[in-house]
Chain A
Amino acid sequence: SYELTQPPSVSVSPGQTARITCSGHALSKQYVSWYQQQSGQAPVLMIYKDTKRPSGIPDRFSGSSSGTTVTFIISAVQEEDEADYYCQSTDTSGGFEVFGGGTKLTVL
């Protein structure tokens, strides 16, 4: 089955830049979305189509793509950004959606 690989954890100090990667063999052909999940809350869409930001999401959240790896970037990290982040894409062979394992962002 298709897998998306994320680092389990990323730590960053306030004001610095956090980068969370997501790797998968089909990512050069399929779009990736990113979701933020605060403790006990439902996920929130942060980035779609690799780099697009929904309305209401601050521009310090961004995405980039290179080959089979996409990266979610948070500039000028704030304490409130501490959360779990998930990437999501499509398994081209089955037309199914798949989530990465999630990355816990800790703001030191």
Chain B
Amino acid sequence: EVQLVQSGPEVKEPGESLKISCQGFGYNFSNYWIAWVRQMPGKGLEWMGIIYPDDSDTRYSPSFQGQVSFSVDKSINAAYLQWTSLKASDTAKYYCARLATLLGKTFDYWGQGTLVTVSS
């Protein structure tokens, strides 16, 4: 069974750094793009970008370029989303999702989401 399991909720102060994770199970993790999606409180889904675990090829949405970074650790089938200096406006739920290109570029499996709260 395919599963994406994300790390737990985080509470941080502005200016702090953070790295959240998304671990894949039940499929060849290296061969599917992983996307990160933001959902701010009461708002819709925003595509942040994608990373290909096999070679770490990365594409960022212009809205998020320079604000976050993606990485992977193939040895443990994990993808990461990282901030170096959090802002209050980063408060949101963050989802990872598997991109199935053979199904017409659809997100066929999603993690449960990681709630990030940034507050002083």
Contacts and interface: CB of A to CB of B under 8 A. Distances in A.
Contacts of A100: 44
Contact of B113 (A42, A84, A94): A42
B95 interface: yes
B90 interface: no
B56 to A, nearest CB: 17
Interface string B29-59: 0000001010000001111001000000001
Interface of A: 1, 30-31, 33, 35, 37, 42-45, 48-50, 52, 54, 84, 86, 88, 90, 94-102
Please report whether the interface of chain B is mostly helix, strand, loop or mixed according to DSSP. strand
Contact of B62 (A1, A30, A35, A44): A1
Contacts of A90: 105
Contact of A45 (B44, B62, B106): B106
Contacts of A52: 103-104
A89 to B, nearest CB: 8
Nearest to B113: A42
B110 interface: yes
